[in-house]
């Protein structure tokens, strides 16, 4: 949830960048580059010294004279190239935040080949089998300065590029006059052409000859420029404010293989609980616990399955983390609400922000001071910013005691015995956002005027809620309410200085803590960070510190926020994952975060931030979701269904209710002062919600299996169409339709007031989800008509078997008791295959799992695999074959060549099902 008051300025800034103001090459033309020497080759790579080849140019900093080159053939498909300072002083991403991948390769076996030119030094990465060049740095001289690095690679004309997130730009990136800026910011309305919440400096390039990936491991602020000029041709250029040149190249050659190989670098995604795929509801602005209960009740009355109720910062006392508003969200009533949800097999989640109120209540601030875990100023005082509760302190995720502090706060506040017993966690504002206190934020108390906002009126229960306790019933109800002593809150401000706060040594040589004597507030190179009032202000005006923590703040381990800013959200994610595990050590944590860095998917999922209720943002949700799931390896992802900011409409929300049902993370959420948009508010959204939650819940095991596979080897659970049809040029730019898992093509209506949509079908066999009618794709679009507000075209891909539950239910717990139907859509070659993974849905360590394979050929479905997960409900009651043709005496058959075979087979061992052939 972002700072709404900043939207106007942000929108103006985003609109002003139609023409990008590139940094001129002129001052860099005098940079001499480097010369390679002392080259030592080994069976697994090479090393060399790089020496400045002439007089220093010192354009945006001081040129470093001595560098080292290290090349490692990590695996058969991965090449690692790192250029750093010889003294090992320059900051590098800490391994505690980003563990480095294992290496076990050799040059002889590698699919990639590293070549170099000694002077001026440049290098190429090419395919070993064909010699095709994938990366060529001879496009411009290498620049390695104290506060600026440049490396440029040539590209083929009009390349198909993907990634470089987080952004709202087209899935296939623009390749002319285009800049992608990496600098986390609180980005209300997720504008196009702007840096957003997270940073994933990886791109995939897809060519007719194959796909490859390039990952740049660097957390400093940067611009990646893509352009095509008469002088330079087509190129991609890295411009960073620091760090080292640390590249990983993966060879593919298919898109899916590239993302699998990328997962070996950043880590495999975390497995989520089964119930996490249920339908979630939230709103910023719920008045009190009574409104939460009423929403839960209303969903039940409307017959719309609600799996999880979420609460934004409304529950906090004056927006302070680790506190409850004693008048509107008192503890005993919150516990009763959570008990009600748990008794009905539902779940509860709340938001936690990183910034802790600089107040005596709650005691979280004083405990943080006692543990010395906050970011500090040079004088030893706590660095103060301003967020929702007013003046705040920010945890230093590099401090020695931060894990024990964070774990303790979670143990206390979220205690199952006497706290709010949440089932998952939502973390926000972790860019970190410091939105009302503009740089230099020298007077946070003045900036905090108006924060926290005035809370809503206190009220008694407004109406009867059958099934809820007496505490939720109106005054005069004949029942006994819980009597509790009112909470005494000491609202006072702590002193400015604390004797126990210790500032660690600021710098140490040779430990990758960052070069000394840098200007950490005012770098000479201005990245295009849209949190600054103007792009140029990111240099001399300190714009990189605007609306966030100042970049000259030094962590307790000696690192500077200048270097680590982009890691803050991921470090909060790591700490929160540990805190959730120590609360419930045996169950998988589900954490949804806003700010991410490469590798975040190993701990958390991501919602796509503070979008708007518009048709444009409805469309943006598809490409952004695809990028996180299929490129960045963060598969538990989704947008705020129906939009967060602005008012939705019945038509838009009905369409979005359908679309959201086919994203991994499915939650409706909107903002304070906007009209309510729970699905039961309109007839069309009620119908759409019921219809598509029903389909989603029947597909839960298919989705759960797809996520499980991604956690094993990185195979994406969401596929852009070109991932599955990489030879079809028409698929390269598609970003309004996609595959959920390997089988289900999702192709929504995307225009307001339209009842038709053009769906591109590659040269393959498909089947209409609803009618099972075969549709022969011919490598062109078909127009699907008569799509009302509550319709969404879905197609099954021939050749991929889909296990689904025979019917849906009101909760995911109940869904797990339903028997299975197996859909067998036969492919062009007359065959089909599929997979089903089963476990208990929540445990970190499983007592037994099943990994079941389905193979169809020659009229016989064979079910085999491992069958370690056993319950009485695991039965197949129906197998439906699509596209079999012929006649049959013993089976039900339709005119669409569909055969349904009713069976009663336990999913505890191998069996076969035969189809009569004519």
Enzyme catalytic residues? 428, 431, 610
Backbone angles phi, psi at 807, to 5 degrees: -150, 165
User: Is 731 in contact with 725 (CB distance < 8 Å)?
Assistant: yes
3-state secondary structure (DSSP) of residue 454 = coil
Beta-bridge partner residues of 245: 83
| Residue linked to tokens 């507030």 | 521
CA gap 262, 270 in Å, rounded: 15
Sequence-distant (6+) residues with CB within 8 A of 809 are 305, 697, 815, 817, 818
CA gap 796, 824 in Å, rounded: 10
CA gap 431, 593 in Å, rounded: 10
User: Is 797 in contact with 745 (CB distance < 8 Å)?
Assistant: yes
End-to-end, the C-alpha distance of the chain in Å comes to 61
3-state secondary structure (DSSP) of residue 23 = coil
| Selection from 294, 334, 324 nearest residue 422 by Cα | 334
CA gap 863, 860 in Å, rounded: 10
| Residue linked to tokens 């939009």 | 643
CA gap 77, 100 in Å, rounded: 16
CA gap 762, 724 in Å, rounded: 10
| Selection from 623, 626, 642 nearest residue 634 by Cα | 626
For residue 345, give both structure tokens: 């097999």
For residue 512, give both structure tokens: 């990758």
3-state secondary structure (DSSP) of residue 89 = coil
Q: Helical H runs in 417-531?
A: 444-447
Cα radius of gyration rounded to whole Å, the chain:
28
Identify the DSSP state of 426: E
- Residue 32 exposed, middle or buried by CB count within 10 Å (0-12, 13-18, 19+): middle
Identify the DSSP state of 433: -
CA gap 364, 844 in Å, rounded: 29
CA gap 317, 296 in Å, rounded: 23
Sequence-distant (6+) residues with CB within 8 A of 132 are 126, 209
């Amino acid at each position: 949830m972002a700072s709404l008051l900043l939207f106007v300025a942000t929108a103006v800034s985003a609109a002003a960048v139609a023409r990008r103001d590139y940094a001129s090459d002129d001052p860099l033309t005098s940079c001499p580059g480097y010369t390679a020497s002392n080259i030592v080759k080994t069976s697994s790579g090479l090393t060399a010294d790089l020496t400045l080849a002439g007089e220093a140019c010192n354009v945006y900093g001081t040129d470093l004279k001595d560098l080292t080159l290290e090349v490692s053939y990590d695996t058969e498909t991965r090449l690692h190239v790192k250029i750093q300072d010889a003294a090992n002083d320059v900051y590098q991403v800490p391994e505690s935040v980003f563990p480095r991948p294992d290496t076990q390769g050799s040059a002889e076996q590698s699919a990639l080949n590293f070549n170099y030119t000694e002077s001026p030094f440049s290098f190429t990465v090419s395919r070993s089998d064909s010699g095709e060049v994938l990366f060529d740095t001879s496009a411009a001289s290498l620049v390695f300065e104290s506060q600026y690095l440049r490396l440029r690679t040539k590209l083929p004309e009009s390349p198909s590029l993907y990634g470089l997130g987080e952004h709202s730009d087209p899935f296939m990136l623009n390749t002319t006059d285009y800049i992608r800026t990496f600098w986390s910011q609180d980005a209300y309305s997720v504008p196009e052409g702007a840096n957003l919440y997270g940073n994933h400096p990886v791109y995939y390039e897809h060519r007719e000859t194959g796909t490859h990936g390039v990952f740049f491991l660097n957390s400093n602020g940067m611009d990646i420029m893509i352009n095509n000029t008469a002088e330079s041709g087509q190129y991609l250029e890295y411009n960073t404010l620091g760090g080292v040149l640390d590249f990983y190249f993966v060879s593919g050659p298919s898109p899916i293989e590239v993302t699998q190989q990328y997962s070996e670098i950043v880590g495999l995604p975390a497995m989520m609980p089964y119930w996490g795929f249920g339908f979630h509801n939230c709103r910023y602005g719920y008045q009190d616990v009574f409104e939460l209960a009423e929403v839960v009740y209303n969903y039940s009355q409307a017959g719309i399955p609600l799996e999880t109720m979420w609460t934004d910062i409304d529950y906090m006392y004056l927006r302070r983390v680790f506190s409850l508003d004693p008048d509107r969200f008192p503890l005993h009533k919150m516990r009763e609400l959570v008990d009600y949800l748990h008794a009905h097999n539902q779940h509860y989640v709340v938001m936690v922000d990183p910034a802790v109120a600089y107040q005596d209540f709650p005691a979280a601030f004083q405990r943080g001071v006692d543990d010395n875990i906050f970011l500090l100023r040079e004088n030893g005082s706590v660095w103060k910013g301003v967020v929702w509760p007013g003046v705040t302190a920010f945890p230093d995720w590099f401090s020695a005691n931060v894990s024990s502090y964070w774990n303790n706060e979670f143990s206390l506040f979220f205690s199952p015995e006497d706290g709010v017993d949440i089932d998952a966690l939502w973390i926000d504002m972790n860019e970190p956002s410091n939105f009302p206190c503009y740089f230099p934020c020298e007077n946070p108390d003045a900036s905090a005027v108006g924060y926290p906002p005035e809370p809503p009126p206190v009220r008694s229960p407004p109406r009867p809620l059958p099934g809820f306790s007496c505490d939720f019933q109106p005054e005069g109800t004949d029942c006994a309410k819980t009597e509790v002593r009112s909470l005494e809150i000491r609202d006072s401000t702590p002193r400015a200085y604390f004797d126990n706060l210790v500032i660690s040594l600021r710098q140490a040589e040779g430990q990758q803590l960052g070069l000394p004597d840098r200007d950490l507030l005012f770098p000479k190179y201005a990245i295009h960070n849209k949190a600054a009032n103007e792009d140029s202000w990111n240099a001399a005006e300190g714009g990189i510190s605007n609306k966030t923590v100042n970049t000259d703040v030094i962590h307790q381990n000696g690192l500077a926020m200048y270097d680590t800013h982009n890691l803050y959200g991921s470090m909060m994610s790591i700490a929160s994952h540990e805190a959730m595990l120590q609360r419930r050590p045996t169950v998988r944590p589900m954490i949804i975060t806003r700010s991410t860095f490469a590798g975040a998917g190993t701990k958390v999922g991501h919602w796509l931030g503070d979008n708007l209720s518009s048709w444009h943002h409805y469309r943006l949700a598809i490409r952004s979701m695809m990028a996180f799931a299929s490129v960045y390896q963060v598969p538990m992802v989704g947008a705020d269904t129906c939009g967060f900011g602005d008012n939705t409409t019945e038509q838009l929300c009905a369409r979005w209710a359908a679309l959201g049902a086919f994203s991994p993370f499915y939650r409706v959420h909107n903002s304070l002062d906007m009209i309510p948009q729970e699905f039961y508010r309109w007839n069309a959204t009620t119908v759409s919600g019921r219809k598509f939650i029903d389909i989603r819940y029947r597909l839960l095991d298919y989705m759960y299996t797809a996520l499980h596979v991604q956690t094993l080897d990185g195979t994406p659970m969401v596929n852009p169409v070109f991932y599955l049809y990489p030879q079809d040029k028409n698929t390269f730019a598609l970003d309004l339709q996609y595959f959920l898992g390997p089988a289900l093509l999702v192709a929504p209506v995307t225009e307001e007031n339209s009842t038709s949509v053009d769906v591109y079908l590659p040269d393959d066999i498909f089947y209409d989800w609803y009618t099972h009618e075969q549709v022969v794709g011919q490598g062109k679009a078909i127009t699907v008509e008569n799509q009302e507000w509550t319709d969404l075209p879905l197609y099954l891909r021939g050749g991929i078997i889909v296990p689904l539950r025979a019917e849906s239910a009101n909760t995911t717990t109940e869904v797990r008791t339903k028997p299975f139907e197996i859909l067998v859509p036969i492919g062009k070659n007359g065959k089909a295959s599929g997979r089903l993974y089963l476990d208990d849905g929540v445990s970190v360590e499983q007592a037994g799992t099943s990994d079941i394979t389905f193979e169809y050929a020659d009229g016989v479905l064979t079910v085999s695999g491992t069958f370690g997960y056993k319950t009485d409900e695991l039965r197949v009651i129906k197998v439906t074959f699509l596209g079999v043709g012929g006649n049959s005496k013993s089976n039900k058959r339709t005119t669409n060549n569909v055969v349904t075979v009713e069976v009663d087979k336990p999913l505890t061992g191998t069996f076969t099902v035969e189809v009569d052939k004519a």
